[in-house]
Structure formats: C-alpha cells, structure tokens
Amino acid sequence: MRIKLGNIFAVATLGLGLAGCGYDAIPAAEANAKAKWVVAQDAYKQRADVIPDLVSPVQGCAKPAAELVGVTKARAGAIRVDAWQLTDADEVRQFGDAQAQLTGALNALMAASQDCPDLKSSQDFLALQSQMDESAGRLATSVHAYNAAVRGYNLALQTLPTMLWAVTLFRGKTPMAALAEAADAQSARK
C-alpha cells in the first residue's frame, strides 16, 4: 500500500511541477497568435470584399480614373499568407507591403472622390465610405492584437522557464514575424 501511495504522490507532484513550469505556454502562445492571425486575415478579406462595391460608383466620375487603376492593381497584388507561413519574415513583410499599398491606393481614391459632387451626395457611396472606415478600424485593432500575440509567443521562446522547453521538446518552433502597423493605426483604434 505504501508503494502505491508513494507512486500516486510522485505522479501528482510531477504533474503539478509540469503544470507550473511553462510546458504548455509555447503551444498556447502559438495557438493564440495563429488565432489572432485568422481574425486579421478576416478583416483584410472583409475590406477586399467591399472594394468592388466602392469602385463601381466611382467609375462614373471622370476625375479619379488613375486612383481606380491604382486600387484595382493593389487589390490584385494583395497576397494571402497562411498561418503556417507566419515564421517566414519575408512572406509576412511582402503581405504587409501589399496591404499597405492597397491602403494607400484606397486613401487616394477616397480623396479623389471628394471632388465628385455626385458621389458626395450619394447615400450608397457614403455608406460604403462608412464601411471602409469601420474596416480600417477593425484592421488596425486586429493587426495590433496579432502583433501582441506574436510578441508573447516569441517571448515564450526566448525566456525562462519556457526557453528550456523551446530548446528541448519544441526545438522546431521558430519566432513568428509581426506585421508593420500603419502610422495612423493608433488613432484608428481609439
């Protein structure tokens, strides 16, 4: 009876020790970062889905023709990065650059559309503008949340006690790349 009680005590102590030592912190942080990435990808997709509806009414106005071409090219160039590619800094940077180019083209289109009186009075266009503004806020918030989750994951790989697990059992785990946040992201989140 004494051996069985001793074994139970040893297993319980080992279980408690492992629970408190950060063994599951790396997989949990990785899953959190990937989940935040999915939310950011969804925000990018929602923005991309609104673009054709936004471009249609602007086509009737002659002034923003160059901006329309810019938006169309930027939307076509906006690439997709899957969660398994998040450790590839070049892929994430290219994705961020393509999204920044699309944001710049959209901003130029919106500025040029202000010169078209028909658009300024169109309730449909104003509703689309509002959707784009909401989309920009969601994007800024989701990218910020993703970057915070990436910092947590990368920190778990580099600090004690989780670093001990990173160099032993989770040796294949590499740091994830963060997305560059737009300069106006702080104002969009407020």
pLDDT given for residue 14 in this prediction? 63
For residue 94, the enclosing domain spans 22-189
In the predicted structure, residue 98 carries a pLDDT above the cut 80: yes
Domain count, the chain: 1
Residue 5 in domain: no
Q: Which of 183, 144, 172 is nearest to 40 (CA)?
A: 144
Q: Which of 88, 93, 90, 83 is nearest to 30 (CA)?
A: 83
Mean pLDDT of the chain: 84
3-state secondary structure of 173: coil
Residue 145 in domain: yes
Residue 47 in domain: yes
Residue 112 in domain: yes
All residues at 6 or more sequence positions from 183 whose CB lies less than 8 Å from its CB, including other chains: none
Both structure tokens of 82 = 């899957």
pTM confidence score: 0.81
Instruction: Quick: pLDDT tens for 38-89.
Output: 999 999 999 999 988 888 888 777 666 778 788 888 888 787 888 888 999 9
pLDDT given for residue 96 in this prediction? 92
Residue 71 in domain: yes
Cα of 54 vs its chain's centroid, Å: 23
Angle between helices 89-113 and 123-158 (to 10 degrees): 160
**What CATH number corresponds to the domain at position 134?**
1.20.1440.20
In the predicted structure, residue 10 carries a pLDDT above the cut 80: no
Residue 14 in domain: no
Residue 4 in domain: no
Both structure tokens of 37 = 């990435």
pLDDT given for residue 183 in this prediction? 61
In the predicted structure, residue 165 carries a pLDDT above the cut 90: no
Q: Which of 141, 146, 154 is nearest to 190 (CA)?
A: 141
In the predicted structure, residue 164 carries a pLDDT above the cut 80: yes
Residue type, 132: M
Q: Across 6-10, 149-153, 179-183, which has the greatest mean pLDDT?
A: 149-153
Residue 100 in domain: yes
CA distance 182 to 190: 14
Top pLDDT among 149 and 111 is at 149
CA dihedral 47, 48, 54, 60 (to 10 degrees): 160
Q: Where are the alpha helices (DSSP H) in the chain?
A: 2-20, 25-59, 65-77, 89-113, 117-121, 123-158, 162-167, 185-189
Q: From its phi and psi, is residue 116 left (phi > 0), alpha (psi between -120 and 50) or beta?
A: beta
